[in-house]
Structure 1
């Protein structure tokens, strides 16, 4: 009887379509991230051109200008304000998105969540191991192992939106979840590995404003004049503790409730409300400004580029992004399918997963941040790592575009099936099967 019950149980389908509301939400995020990805690219290219122009001194002066009250240990450079302050907004949105996925999204189902989480872990471990092997052979510094482990949400989704206009929503959800969980792992690495001098007193005091913030949002309070000061104080105390201040953004995001209150309040939940408010600020301001002050690498002409390419750090980071991410994400997903006897959803092939795995090698924003933390902003290894990040991310995007564009006819056919609405109720038939 047990055997017959197993036979009657539905087979696990990897990357199967989720619910219709989730598909609409992912499509909306893709549209907004496309604009953010374009601004990010413009900012990075502008910084790269300025830093290698005759006016590079003005760029460095602007980036290294100190602002803020010294009495509060907040006399930071403009570049540091972008990395520590503005990126906290980015990680706040990432925290909201991650909590939304696992509380109210399709990934609250452990069977559906297991695949992108496993793929993320593989996409973190393999690039790190590949980097370590290369720098050990080349006698380079081990400290940069975490640089190629990150996936940039804005860039990856922007490329996906441009080259995959007919991409099935399940693949989009897979990439979005992979990138969000990847960012969570990255922030854990930042908090644990790159916290050298921990001051426990400010960290403990930070629990007070963080607790008040949590109490207010759990009561569905939306008053910015109450929440914003508490968030700023929490960020400042975490910064003073020696833990990277972006951790405060993630903690604040996790504190926001996803579901509506039991009273049945009208309108979206508080997490969705904050996400609509802060995602444009994150994608349109915070991330591009950070990229502008971090991507300004002085290449130094052909000689400087040759020197960078002979550094094992450069080779390790680039190989981790282009090769390690692809092997890690694709290999782990295949292993999950192999050991669970699962099949890909109808109409999809492993070449689709390969394209997404390549796309995960776009490790821009968080990789730049980790490079500065690992080697120190402006150091030789930091400059070389950033050359590898820019070049590796570009190569990963081009390879992914080549694979996914070749599958565009298949995507179009699947998209037509998804949008078929034979009963004219406004919901595609595939979400009612």
Structure 2
């Protein structure tokens, strides 16, 4: 089991007042009182099968999703002395379990325990691909059997003003399905309506960033147990299998830069390119070992919405993918995307080209576009090659080992 910080500001979408034990109140404006309890969404008729596009599932003990993000637990209360016990988190049989205890000894009028489940960029497209429902597996072994299921937009303010459904569950792990409608997912009444930083359901679905599941049945006095058990989450229906096109790559090579970086090599087999190299403790954080995948010919790929690439890395959990166009000066200032959550296990990432930008380049001096420094839209019209950079960063290992699966695909998703 893993003990988690009870004071994680960004995750607590239901937090009205940051607890004093967290070191201050930040920028919160306390709500005048707890939100009225929404009418619970009716349970779906009959058994539900999770047959949509799974966007969060759990295998790793620490709550890392199989999709490359990490779920975290949190707790809060109106008064510092009533903050629920630090939630414990573990994964067993593909179920994420979070347990804690409520203890209202100081008269708090609200409190809660919850789980924040972030989504990867590629899965935000599922709504645009026609999803109309969300499916999930849920149970409660705590005293309360009425849980909150919330959908949060990217960059939403952590003040509780997010679309929320109230779901009545049992102690038995059960699949549920909710239509993505305003009737099911409402902003709490105290929000006074949607805003740019706390949008309603439609705007939230256009830029989905995370789910949250919480138990907010804080007792008026005394204690109560909390036990939230969450399985896979999916958007349904599953989109049709997208069209793909394999990129023709020839003459792949590698290079390196930075003090002590040496031994760069790019081996090619029928199934993968393998980038290796070494660095030293003196190697700067901005230093990198780089694989370059040139296209057989400069290509206009602007009609494709995404890149599908299979990656594994045993030395660094993140890599930077760059789009180098034929018009670009070879100075490293190329539209970029940072792939996170990597491990030694190969995983396919479908990355929207809209997620690439000069602003994502690790060099902040590259943010401004020009004729010789084109941003994504122009780069895609004259794409010359990809660069995959393993930057040492602050946590990267000195031994570089990156596997890039074949083929690298353009994706219609």
Structure 1 length-normalised TM: 0.23
Q: Which has the higher strand share?
A: 2
Higher relative contact order, chain-length normalized (CA < 8 Å, sep 6+): 1
Q: Which has the larger radius of gyration?
A: 2
Q: Which has the higher helix share?
A: 1
Structure 2 length-normalised TM: 0.24
